[in-house]
Amino acid sequence: MVWWRRAVNWIRIPCSHAHRLLSERMDRPIEGGERWRLWLHLRICEMCSRFERQIDLMRSAVRRLGQ
Ligand SMILES: [Zn+2]
């Protein structure tokens, strides 16, 4: 059974990649596969989901300053 291994490898991204995607998401929307891999990673990785919350807080703070 190789196909599911390949699927798992495709789905799994390292935390560093997730962090990069999260920062990029501030400037541009992430598309397709990357977006879903990030979503999945955030579901299974506590550290990155915490990082996402921090980024969201930061982003709303910046938005408030910009108004
Ligand atoms: Zn992670």
Are 29 and 2 in contact by the 8 Å Cβ rule? The answer is no
Residues 6 or more apart from 13 whose CB is under 8 A from it?
A: 21, 37, 38, 41
Supply 5's token pair.
């291994």
Cα 55 to middle of ligand 1, angstroms: 14
Q: What is the pLDDT of residues 5-50, one digit of tens each?
A: 888 888 889 999 999 999 998 889 999 989 999 999 999 999 999 9
- Amino acid symbol at 26: M
pTM: 0.76
Nearest to 13 by CA among 53, 50, 40: 40
Cα 42 to middle of ligand 1, angstroms: 7
